[in-house]
């Protein structure tokens, strides 16, 4: 699986690709210089149950936020649930 990142000035998306097919994506908005707001996670039906959302969070959003030294506001229900289940993510939460 390959994780790709596209970003504009105010928004961004991490997408997961498997064998040339887009398996899922996680979108965020930039909120100033200290925070990003993850607002949506979508996984294609054909790829559900394969941990795509978790990989987008752990291999895309979290490393990006650490690199940029910003916090993550989990507006998306999936991401909020991941933050609630995994206390090691607490320092990243806005």
pLDDT tens across 57-80, in order? 999 999 999 999 999 999 999 999
pLDDT value at residue 83: 98
* Region of 51 on the Ramachandran plot (φ > 0 left; ψ -120 to 50 alpha; else beta): left
Name the token pair of 13: 């998306």
11-18 vs 2-7, strand pairing mode: antiparallel
pLDDT of the residue at 90: 96
C-beta separation of 92 from 62 below 8 A: yes
- Kindly state the helix (H) or strand (E) to which residue 42 belongs, with its residue range: strand 35-43
Q: Where are the domains of the chain?
A: 2-92
**What CATH code would you report for 2-92?**
3.40.630.30
Predicted local distance difference test score (pLDDT) of residue 86:
97
Backbone angles phi, psi at 8, to 5 degrees: -105, -170
pLDDT tens sequence for the chain (94 residues): 999 999 999 999 999 999 999 999 999 999 999 999 999 999 999 999 999 999 999 999 999 999 999 999 999 999 999 999 999 999 999 9
């Amino acid at each position: 699986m390959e994780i790709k990142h596209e970003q504009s000035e105010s928004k961004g998306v991490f997408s997961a690709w498997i064998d040339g097919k887009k398996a899922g994506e996680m979108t965020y908005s930039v909120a100033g210089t200290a925070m990003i707001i993850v607002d949506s996670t979508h996984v294609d039906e054909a790829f559900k149950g394969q941990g795509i959302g978790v990989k987008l969070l752990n291999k895309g959003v979290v490393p990006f936020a650490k690199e940029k030294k910003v916090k993550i506001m989990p507006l998306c229900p999936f991401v909020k649930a991941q933050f609630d289940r995994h206390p090691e993510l607490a320092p990243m939460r806005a």
